[in-house]
Chains A and B, each alone.
Chain A
Amino acid sequence: MAEPTLLPISIEGVSFVAGGRRVLDGVAALIATPGITAIIGANGAGKSVLLRLIDGLIAPHAGAIRFGGRDSATVRRGFVFQTTALLRASVARNVALALAPLALARAERARRVDTALFRVGLASRAQDSARRLSGGERQRLGLARAWVIEPELLLLDEPTASLDPGATEEVERLVRAMADAGAKVIIVSHNLAQVARLAEDVLVLSRGRVVEHGSVQQVLRHPADAETRAYLQGELPWMPHAAGS
Chain B
Amino acid sequence: MFATFADAVILLGSLDPAVIATAWLSLRVSLAAVGVGCLIAIPLGALIGVARFPGRQAAIVVLNALMGLPAVVVGLLVYLTFSRSGPLGFLGLLFTPGVMIVAQTVLITPLIAALTRQIVEDADAEFGEQLRSLRLRPLQRVGALIFNVRFSLVVAVLAAFGRAIAEVGAVLVVGGNIAGFTRTMTTAISLETQKGDLPLALALGIALMAIVLLVNAFAAGIREFAARRHG
Contacts and interface: CB of A to CB of B under 8 A. Distances in A.
Interface of A: 55, 57, 77, 79, 81, 84-85, 87-90, 93, 97-98, 100-101, 128-132, 145
B135 interface: yes
Interface string B135-177: 1110010001001101100000000000000000000000000
B134 A87 contact: no
B87 interface: no
Interface of B: 126-127, 129-137, 140, 144, 147-148, 150-151, 230-231
B198 to A, nearest CB: 47
Contacts of A84: 130
B231 A101 contact: no
A88 B144 CA distance: 10
B135 A101 contact: yes
A84 B29 CA distance: 43
Smallest CB-CB A-B distances: 3 pairs: A129-B231, A79-B133, A85-B130
**A contact patch SS:** mixed
B164 to A, nearest CB: 27
A88 B140 contact: no
Contacts of B130: 79, 81, 84-85
Given A101-B136, A145-B134, A131 B127 contact: no
Contacts of A97: 134, 136, 144
Contact of A87 (B129, B133, B148, B151): B148
Nearest to A55: B133
A85 B126 contact: yes
Contacts of B134: 97-98, 100-101, 145
Nearest to B135: A101
Contacts of B147: 87-89
B231 to A, nearest CB: 3
**B contact patch SS:** helix
21 contacts: A55-B133, A81-B130, A81-B133, A85-B130, A85-B131, A87-B144, A87-B147, A88-B151, A88-B230, A89-B231, A90-B230, A93-B230, A97-B144, A100-B134, A100-B136, A100-B144, A101-B134, A101-B136, A101-B137, A129-B230, A130-B231
A89 B144 CA distance: 11
Nearest to B140: A100
Given A57-B132, A100-B144, 14 more contacts: A79-B130, A81-B130, A81-B133, A85-B126, A87-B148, A88-B147, A88-B148, A88-B230, A89-B147, A98-B134, A101-B134, A101-B136, A130-B231, A132-B231
A88 B231 contact: yes
Nearest to A132: B231
A169 B137 CA distance: 34
A100 B147 CA distance: 14
Given A88-B231, A131-B231, A101 B140 contact: yes
Nearest to A89: B230
A100 B135 CA distance: 9
Contacts of B129: 57, 81
A57 to B, nearest CB: 6
Contact of B127 (A77, A79, A85): A85
Nearest to A84: B130
A128 B230 CA distance: 8
A100 B136 CA distance: 7
A90 B130 CA distance: 17
Contacts of A77: 135
A77 to B, nearest CB: 8
Contacts of B150: 88
Contacts of A89: 147, 230-231
Which of B140, B148, B230 has its CB near the most chain A CB atoms (within 10 A)?
B230
Contacts of B133: 55, 57, 79, 81
Contacts of A100: 134, 136, 140, 144
A131 B132 CA distance: 21
Which of A77, A79, A100, A130 has its CB near the most chain B CB atoms (within 10 A)?
A100
A159 to B, nearest CB: 13
A90 B148 CA distance: 12
A85 B134 CA distance: 11
A132 B228 CA distance: 12
Nearest to B150: A88
Contacts of B131: 85
